[in-house]
Amino acid sequence: MSPDRNTGAIEFALRKSLHGPDGTLAFEAAAVIEKGGFVTLFGPSGAGKTTLLRMLAGLTPPDAGRIVVDGECWFDAERRIDLPPQRRSIGFVFQDYALFPNLTVRENIAYALGKGRGEWIEELLESTALQGVRDRLPQTLSGGQKQRVALARALARKPKLLLLDEPLSALDLGLRTQLQDQIAQLHRRFGLTTLLVSHDLGEVFKLSQRVLRIEHGAIVQSGTPAELFLQQRLGGRINLRAQVLAIRREDVVFIVSLLLGQDIVEVIATNDDIEAVEVGDFVEIAAKAFSPLIFK
Amino acid sequence: MSYDWQPLLLTFRLALVTMSILLIVGVPLAYWVAHTRTRFKPLIETLISMPLVLPPSVLGFYLLLAFSPQHAFGQWLEQWLQVRLVFSFAGLVIGSVIFSLPFMVQPIQSGFEALPPSLIEASRTLGKSDLHTFFRVLLPNVKRSLLAGAVLSFAHTVGEFGVVLMIGGNIPGVTRVASIAIYDEVEGLNYAAANFYAGVLFATTFAILLLVYLANRRWMRLG
């Protein structure tokens, strides 16, 4: 697909060898992201999700490949084009937020903007509900507030591409849900093409139109969240991961106590089932979901 | 009885000039050392820190040799720049700058190293040059290290004795700083004058350090 026929789209094909704790990993990924889309990069840690985001931002140099955004070439190894981050139209929300500790909330947001942009700053403060803390320094804010400042600051320059690197991973569940709503709202309001790195399935479902599943340095699956995560489970099986706490013999069968989340459950197993299982092992248990009870 | 204020004024002038030069030289040097990836980094850090462990007389001795017009460098200075650094105030300044370098560089370097790298990256993604980032984001966030470096190098220069004696000697009004004046007066059994210099040095350094700790506490509370 040529970028000029696909206006506003982001097209990339990138290669880089990553040096992680498990040795070298060859990262290679290519995709086209439609304008205004909300795409999640999903996968285990160390798979290269953050690296992909950083390569798009110009913070990590790829070994080879190209990036074309809205018809403008940001990176092309062959033509030796490599725009610095300053010249790429991006907003980046870092995992640690990276707020400037010496600047107030308002100054953090205004940092990227020239003078005379007061109205736009007010609008950003309002749409992220930060008017009340505008003159406070970052370290006096709660986690959720910091996250919103980071988001507002990333939006300030009205970038073509918004990159979110696990922005909610440090927050507790209730706050996370609230901020997911806010991110969805901001995405609708400003229509920015957004790339989110996330481990959280709930988050992926709630926010993204498309998911790129990244494993071992490659995009292994791409589609809507429903396509990726629902259809493979239509068999009605529930797969759970549990830790074996105790095994005791009762007549001809064994009773196995398992830790499932924070609950302890007991299941019956035969001699064959538990032959290779020891206390402390992590096991997979599967059950048919005929008529499960659903609680909230 | 009237006291000679000249050695004290000379001491504080020397300390002030040394501190100012070190701020200009030390801040970029500290930033560079904090961020460099050169494999010579340990060597450079060693050179910067040498004055911490080296006896001042050793440094003074080599500087004396280097500055002396009987040797190549001193000769070159005298012939081409018409400066003589031995037994002069300029020589004292150079000696003090080298001698107090680690006291300026080390706190600022660790200040820079403690800042998360994402601050620079965030500023880049917001379209700002690294120079802009340096002055608007990095420097303001190491202000406590800056203060520590400035005060330590100032105080260290005030307390200097060995280097100054070796390359400056004891010329009233030129190189006779307070620490040397104290030694000189004691040698002449002039205890009252020695006590005057010692007392003033004691009181001023105490006041400066107290102010720094008070300021630090205030900054800590403000965050």
- Of A49-53, A287-291, B120-124, where does mean pLDDT reach its minimum? A287-291
Above pLDDT 70, what percent of chain B? 97
pTM: 0.80
* Higher pLDDT, residue B52 or B81: B52
Note the ipTM here.
Answer: 0.80
- Quick: pLDDT tens for B6-65: 899 999 999 999 999 999 999 999 999 999 999 999 999 999 999 999 999 999 999 999
Q: Is A103 exposed, middle or buried (0-12, 13-18, 19+ CB in 10 A)?
A: buried
- Quick: pLDDT tens for A91-136: 999 999 999 999 999 999 999 887 778 889 999 998 888 999 999 9
What's the CATH code, domain B6-222?
Answer: 1.10.3720.10
First to last CA, chain B: 49
Query: Which of A53, A54, A111 to probe by mutation at the B interface, max B CB count within 10 Å?
Result: A111
Name the band, by pLDDT with cuts 50, 70 and 90, for residue A294: confident
Within chain A, all domains assigned CATH 3.40.50.300 are found at 10-232
Within chain A, all domains assigned CATH 2.40.50 are found at 238-288
What does the DSSP assignment read for B156-192?
A: HHHT--HHHHHHH---TTTT--HHHHHHHHHHTT-HH
Report whether pLDDT(A137) > 60.
yes
pLDDT at position B133, please? 95
Cβ–Cβ below 8 Å for A86 and B118:
no
| Residue A163 Cα, gap to closest chain B Cα (Å) | 10
| Residue B122 Cα, gap to closest chain A Cα (Å) | 6
Class of domain A238-288 as given by CATH: mainly beta
How confident is the prediction for chain A on average, in pLDDT?
Answer: 86
d(CA B196, CA B63): 31
> Torsion over CA of B184, B185, B189 and B192, rounded to 10 degrees?
-160
What's the CATH code, domain A10-232?
Answer: 3.40.50.300
Cβ–Cβ below 8 Å for B128 and A92:
no
Residues of B with CB under 8 A from a CB of A: 116, 118-119, 121-129, 136-137, 140-141, 222-223
Contact A57, A89 (CB under 8 A): no
Q: Which of A215, A246, A93 is nearest to A162 (CA)?
A: A93
Nearest to B121 among A88, A98, A101 (CB): A98
Nearest to A86 among B127, B141, B223 (CB): B127
